[in-house]
Amino acid sequence: MKVRDIMTQTPVCCGRETNVGAAVELLWIHNCGMLPVVDGNKKLIGIVTDRDFCIALGTRNRLPGDLTVGDVATARVISCKADDEIHVALGTMADHQVRRLPVVDGDGVPRGILSMDDVLVHADQNKWEGSCELSSEEVIRSIKKMRGQQFPIIHHPKPAARATVLPREASIGPRPINLRPRQNPV
């Protein structure tokens, strides 16, 4: 199975100078999560995702119209070709921990997008006829590899030691408060 067989055709693209507000509108209208960024010759020069926009707007204290895609986009692009075997493209996605790959032609012009959604929809296709080219097991292994990134471990502080309750006779002043939880009789 080739990438061209399952990729989303005709990708929606934007330029570096596109403002973030307009780019987010493109994502919304076309129901996608990634835009290839192209230069004046329509050649792929970067990508920008919905996550990139969220992080940029949440951390820069600027309006979407004041930022350009060039301010936010990732210039290091991992891509594939339409004639690549789907197994190779899936391995590339897993190795680089990305869920979407721009599909480019020989000139570097985007011709489609390969997403994990596309891969999942086509997994186990024709399985019952015995001609399955993309098994669900292979897809699951790739997803696990993608998700194998280590997240930081958050250590919570230990709770403070409980206060000791003195017997009434030993106390000076008002009666001390009992900090032990009440136990309900059974």
Residue ranges covered by each domain of the chain: 3-146
- Strand, coil or helix: what is 33? coil
Provide the pLDDT confidence category of residue 119 given band limits of 50, 70 and 90.
confident
Which tens digits make up the pLDDT trace of 42-92?
A: 999 999 999 999 999 999 988 888 999 999 999 999 999 999 999 899 889
**Region 3-146: CATH code:** 3.10.580.10
Mean pLDDT, residues 166-180 taken together: 55
The phi-psi region of residue 95 (left if phi > 0; otherwise alpha if psi is between -120 and 50; otherwise beta) is alpha
To the nearest whole number, what is the mean pLDDT of the chain?
81
